[in-house]
């Protein structure tokens, strides 16, 4: 009986630690920067600022590329849709190569930054 109570207490404590870890691992943030396609940016340093570069970027997106935002400090954030967002690509692609802001939940682990997109628009900064 005492062993069962001890096991239940240990399980409850572990669940509390896991629950607290998840809640502290995310925070709402706003990032100002330039929207890019990650593969083009990392492999070739391309930002979609000209029509030819934008065409290459769009080709990579059609092949399954990821969207991201690069801030002024040259930090790369990967953009991912929320579970309910079905028009993610249509929402973000008009901002390719444009100084924009992105609002959403920020997750960081092992140097990787991911933002779950909630809002996007042109940046005035």
Residue-wise pLDDT for 61-116, tens only, equals 888 889 999 999 999 999 999 888 888 888 998 998 889 999 999 999 998 999 99
3-state secondary structure of 46: coil
- C-alpha 69/C-alpha 72 separation (Å) is 10
Q: What is the pLDDT of residues 45-66, one digit of tens each?
A: 877 777 778 888 888 888 888 9
Residue 25 has pLDDT above 80, yes or no: no
Can you read off the two tokens belonging to residue 4?
């069962």
Distance of CA 66 to the CA centre of its chain: 10
Global confidence as pTM: 0.74
Q: What pLDDT score was predicted for residue 53?
A: 82
- DSSP-derived 3-state class of residue 124: coil
């Amino acid at each position: 009986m005492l062993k069962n109570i001890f096991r239940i207490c240990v399980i409850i404590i572990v669940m509390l630690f896991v629950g607290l870890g998840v809640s502290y691992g995310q925070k709402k943030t706003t990032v100002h920067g330039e929207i890019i396609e990650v593969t083009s940016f990392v492999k070739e340093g391309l930002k979609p600022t000209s029509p030819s570069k934008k065409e290459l970027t769009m080709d990579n997106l059609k092949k399954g590329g990821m969207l991201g935002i690069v801030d002024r400090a040259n930090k790369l954030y990967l953009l991912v849709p929320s579970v309910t967002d079905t028009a993610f690509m249509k929402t973000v692609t008009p901002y390719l190569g444009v100084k924009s802001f992105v609002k959403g939940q920020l997750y960081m682990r092992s140097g990787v930054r991911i933002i779950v997109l909630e809002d996007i628009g042109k940046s005035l900064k």
